[in-house]
Chains A and B, each alone.
Chain A
Amino acid sequence: MPIPVIVVDDEPTDRYIVKRKLSRTPGFGEIGEARDGEEFLSSYCGGPAPDTPPLVLMDINMPRRDGFQVIEELERRIGSGACHRTAMVVMLTSSDRPEDKERARAFNLVKGFFTKPLDDADIDTIRELMSA
């Protein structure tokens, strides 16, 4: 069953690059996008539950809430029952700061950390993570 994807990134070019890249890779289904954390939280928590938990590619450096704050809020909403869905999140960022990697590791929802641009090896790793 193809895995739905949501790309959360304020940079339109980067959303476009990921969408194009994944669209020609087998195994991934519908690719949605959100321009920032707010848009992602409201559409994701508010929309109908999909059959398969989606893969969320989350940028870190975004206006208003950064990627970590968005995940924090998502975990809070799932924990309080305000969001009835779960997801598998991987960070996709141009940062390779050790602090950011450390922070990412602390979240239950976050399964991976990748630096832009996403290449074929990264996609293989994501597939392995999804099937694990």
Chain B
Amino acid sequence: MREMTEFETYCHALDVSPVAMLVIGRDDCIRHSNPAADTLFRYPRGALGGRPFEVLVPDELRDLHRRHVAAFRKAPRARQIGATGGLACKTGTGEIVSLEIGLEPVSIDGQQCIVLAATDSHERVEKDRDTRRLLDASASAMLMVDRTGTIVFANKVATRTFGYVPGEMVGKPIDMLVPERLHEAHRGHIRGYFGGGVARPMGLGRELHARHRTGREFPVEVGLTPIETPEGTMVMATLVDLTAHVAAERALSEKVSELDLLNEQLRSFAYSASHDLKAPLASVSGLMRLCLDDMRAGDTAEVMQNLHLARDIADDGVNRVEKSLGLALAGHQEHMPEPVAVEALVAEVWRELTWSNQGRARLVTDMSLGGPFVTDRPALRVILDTLLSNAVRFRDEAKAEHVVTVTASDESGWLLVHVSDNGVGVPEESRHLLFKMFGRISERSGGGLGLALAKKLVDRLGGEIRYVDSRRDGAEFAFTLPMAREPENAHSSDSRRR
């Protein structure tokens, strides 16, 4: 058995490689192709041996090929070509396949040859495409940026988050995604990061903002990771749009303050209620004790009178409890808007308030409303009843006549009502108590619930109520209510009537 030549040994070694490999002689002919090369170039096993290498070069690349060959002969050293694309071969079946190749000069049996290793760059493209698909499937926005601050990749979510169309962001500077005032600082951060950054969240505790295509800024959270690629070091930025998160947080903190306020109101309601509902009970108890002492002592002169007084106070207490309950519930009840004839309602309330002491007060009205006003009638009735009964109660005995004036007008869809009187007025130092629960400004005050309830109802209907400070003589209150929308069924029955 003869000994194997160097060439044969070489070929045996190449034949077990999974990489397609050719040995090319000085005459540019293929001296050997391994099985992987036969498969890649689609030639029957061994068919390439002895053929000129140019059979594998597509016609349009012949000139380029020759230039490459000449360049290699001039400086024969190992090199990679085709990594950035543009290189292709023609297979035995006539297809064109893109390639990446490695070349290495070798000396075999004293002859200069070239060993060529070829890989199908199509596979790499496929792999890239798979990676891209994976990145596109991510729920986070992902951007790859090179050291010049140029975007080299943006996944689907990134494109959508920033308001661009697919492909539009690639090749553009990352600056366009950063608020303008931060450009300078951001460029510095990029330089610093490429100088040896490790994977970490961006901003380190600062609140970060990104810029949408429309210029709108939005809060973001960004993670940074350096990535080594054939094209050099890149930074992959993973970004989460926090707009919804921040809005939810804000809504939550608003809810918390609202709850705090409600809690405070509840606390003060509970204290006021316990104090002010207890007060009449304490009076009744005191009167009862007096009666018992008197009866024990046989002194019954005042017993009858004190029992009557106790009964009246108890009745008043019942009334107060009911009103407190009404106040606690106001703001939660369903409100049903309906057309209300305001002037008629004022007259009705006035009649009920003054039927027992006619002639003690005179009502003057000035109504310039085009027609009925759509609102919650029971609520408006309570508001008017409170203001009118206060106006009647705080009469100035020094004046010959007590006059209560009610004006109502339609201010572009808002009902504006003023209720004033020429009575004793409200001392400046007591005005802050007016709308407070159990806030009583004098002995003539009722339970201190009326105006608190009126205010709650006005608030609920979306209006405002205030004491008119500028008035010199008597008291004046003003409130507004927005015109409510009638419910659908009210409209249809109305139109049927017409």
Chain A interfacial positions (CB closer than 8 Å to B): 10-14, 17-18, 20-21, 24, 35, 61, 63-64, 94-95, 97, 115-119
- Contact of A64 with B441 at beta-carbon distance under 8 Å, contacts A13-B309, A17-B290 already known: yes
Which A residues are CB-close (under 8 A) to B285?
Answer: 116-117
Across chains A and B, the number of contacting residue pairs, with CB separation under 8 Å, is 68
Q: A95's contact among B275, B293, B442, by CB below 8 Å, is which?
A: B275
**Is B278 engaged at the interface, CB distance under 8 Å to the other chain?**
yes
Q: Is the CB of B287 within 8 A of A17?
A: yes
Cβ-based interface call for B282 (8 A):
yes
Whether the pair A117, B440 counts as a contact (CB closer than 8 A) is no
Q: Any chain A CB within 8 A of the CB of B445? A: yes
The answer to whether the Cβ of B63 comes within 8 Å of any Cβ in the partner chain is no
- Return the chain A residue nearest B288 by Cβ: A117
Q: Is the CB of B287 within 8 A of A13?
A: yes
B271 at interface, CB cutoff 8 A = yes
B275-A24 in contact (CB<8A): no
Residues 392 to 429 of chain B near chain A (Cβ within 8 Å): 427, 429
Q: How far is the CB of A92 from chain B (nearest CB, A)?
A: 10
Q: Is the pair A14, B289 in contact by a Cβ cutoff of 8 Å?
A: no
Measured between beta carbons, the chain A residues less than 8 angstroms from B433 are 63
> For residue A60, which residue of chain B has the nearest CB?
B275
Interface centre among B283, B429, B433 (most CB of A within 10 A): B283
Q: Would you call A10 and B282 a contact (CB within 8 A)? A: no
Asked if B108 lies at the interface with its beta carbon under 8 angstroms from chain A, I say: no
21 contacting pairs across A/B (C-beta < 8 A): A10-B440, A13-B286, A14-B283, A17-B286, A18-B286, A21-B290, A24-B293, A61-B275, A61-B438, A61-B440, A63-B433, A64-B427, A64-B441, A94-B278, A94-B279, A94-B282, A95-B274, A97-B271, A97-B275, A117-B289, A119-B289
For A61, the closest partner residue in chain B by CB is: B275
Instruction: Provide the B286-300 mask, 1 if CB < 8 A to any CB of A, else 0.
Output: 110110010001000
Please report the C-alpha to C-alpha distance between residue A11 and residue B293 in the assembled complex, in whole angstroms: 22
Given known contacts A24-B293, A97-B271, A11 and B279 CB-to-CB distance under 8 angstroms? yes
Provide the bound-state CA to CA distance between A2 and B275, in Å. 33
Which of A13, A21, A95 lies in contact with B283, CB distance below 8 A? A13
Q: Which residues of A contact B278 (CB under 8 A)?
A: 94-95
Q: Does B430 contact A (CB under 8 A)?
A: yes
Q: Is the CB of A63 within 8 A of B286?
A: no
CB distance from B429 to the nearest CB of A (A): 6
Structural contact, A116 and B282, CB atoms closer than 8 A:
yes
* Minimum CB–CB distance for A30 against chain B, Å: 20
CB pair B275 A94 closer than 8 Å: yes
CB-CB under 8 A from B109, the residues of chain A are: none
B443 within 8 A of A: yes
User: B338 within 8 Å of A by Cβ?
Assistant: no
Our pick among A12, A63, A119 for the contact of B440 (Cβ within 8 Å) is: A63
Contact with A along B80-101 (1 / 0, CB 8 A): 0000000000000000000000
Q: Is B345 an interface residue (CB 8 A)?
A: no
Q: Does B276 contact A (CB under 8 A)?
A: yes
Knowing A63-B445, A119-B289 are in contact, say whether A11-B283 is a contact too (CB < 8 A).
yes
Q: In the complex, which residue of chain A has the Cβ closest to the Cβ of B439?
A: A63
Given A24-B293, A97-B275, A63 contacting B441 (CB threshold 8 A):
yes
Determine if B429 and A10 form an interchain contact, defined as CB atoms under 8 angstroms apart: no
B313 within 8 A of A: yes
Known: A94-B279, A116-B283. 8 other contacts (CB 8 A): A14-B283, A17-B289, A61-B438, A63-B440, A63-B445, A94-B278, A97-B275, A117-B282
Q: Mark B438-469, 1 if CB is under 8 A from A, else 0.
A: 10111101000000000000000000000000
Q: Report the bound CA distance from A116 to B275 in whole Å.
A: 11
Choice from B282, B287, B293, B430 contacting A64 with Cβ under 8 Å: B430
In angstroms, Cα B290 to Cα A17, docked, is 7
Residues of chain B from 370 to 397 with CB closer than 8 A to chain A in the complex: none
Report A123 CB to chain B, min CB distance, Å.
12
Residues of chain B with a CB closer than 8 A to A119's CB: 289
Determine whether the beta carbon of B282 is less than 8 Å from that of A115.
yes
**Complex CA distance for A117 and B285, rounded to whole angstroms:** 7
Contact between B279 and A116, CB atoms less than 8 A apart = yes
Min distance, Cβ A89 to any Cβ of chain B, angstroms: 19
- Nearest chain A CB to B436's CB is how many angstroms away? 12
Q: A118–B427 Cα gap in the complex (Å)?
A: 32
**Interchain nearest-CB distance for B234 vs A (Å):** 65
What is the bound-complex CA distance between A11 and B278, given in angstroms?
A: 14
> A97 — which chain B residues lie within 8 A by C-beta?
271, 275
Task: With CB as the reference atom, state the residue of chain B lying closest to A92.
Answer: B282
Once the chains bind, are B286 and A118 in contact (CB under 8 Å)? yes
A13 to B429, CA, bound (A): 26
Contact B286 A116 (CB under 8 A): yes
B437 to chain A, nearest CB (A): 12
Enumerate chain A residues within 8 angstroms of B302, measured Cβ to Cβ. Answer: 20
A49–B289 Cα distance when bound, in Å, is 34
List the 10 closest A-B pairs by CB distance, nearest first. Answer: A117-B286, A17-B286, A116-B282, A94-B279, A94-B282, A95-B275, A94-B278, A63-B442, A13-B283, A117-B285
Taking the closest CB of chain B, its distance from the CB of A17, in whole angstroms, is: 4
Question: Given the complex of chains A and B, what is the CA–CA distance between A21 and B274 in angstroms?
Answer: 25
Docked Cα-Cα span, A91 to B275, in Å, equals 14
Residues in B with CB closer than 8 Å to A24 are: 293, 297
Contact with A along B19-43 (1 / 0, CB 8 A): 0000000000000000000000000
Return the chain A residue nearest B312 by Cβ: A13
Question: How far is B445's CA from A96's CA once the two chains are assembled, in angstroms?
Answer: 23
> Which A residues lie within 8 Å of B441 (CB)?
63-64
A14 and chain B: residue at smallest CB distance: B283
How would residues 217 to 228 of chain B score, 1 for a CB under 8 Å from any chain A CB and 0 otherwise?
Answer: 000000000000
